[in-house]
Amino acid sequence: EAGVAQSPRYKIIEKRQSVAFWCNPISGHATLYWYQQILGQGPKLLIQFQNNGVVDDSQLPKDRFSAERLKGVDSTLKIQPAKLEDSAVYLCASSFMAQGAGEAFFGQGTRLTVV
């Protein structure tokens, strides 16, 4: 079974530039999460999708971050414009179960450096 795929693995951009991350969840998984993990901290939930609908985006900085999940499968997370404090690893995860009811599978993450 293929795992959660994320790309790119690494990205370096200058502040005020834009960047987009892509996630392909495990086939059949209705729930998709995006997390931001700053070095030395735990993953912080940015947004949760159930199919193509948003369940929770309370921690998403909506003035600069946006996310979509077209057709309830792949998802993209965009930052525009980036700030230095956005430097982090962005993790995507998917789950067959809704909410926190079951195991989530994580991708390898995208490491973003904003200079």
Of the candidate residues 24, 43, 79, 82, the single one contacting another protein (CB under 8 A):
43
Q: Name all contacts of 98-104 with Cβ < 8 Å and 24+ positions apart.
A: 98/30, 98/31, 98/50, 99/31, 99/55, 104/31, 104/33
| Contact present, 23 and 91 (Cβ < 8 Å) | no
Reference 6, options 30, 27, 22; nearest CA is: 22
| 5 forms part of the interface with another protein (CB under 8 A) | no
Return the amino acid letter for 5: A
| 103 forms part of the interface with another protein (CB under 8 A) | yes
| 101 forms part of the interface with another protein (CB under 8 A) | yes
**C-beta closer to another protein: residue 16 or 44:** 44
| 102 forms part of the interface with another protein (CB under 8 A) | yes
Binding residues for another protein restricted to 78-97, rule: CB under 8 A: 89, 91, 93, 95
Distance CA 90, CA 20 (A): 11
Binding site for another protein (CB under 8 A): 4, 33, 35, 41-43, 45, 48, 55-56, 58, 89, 91, 93, 95, 99-109, 111
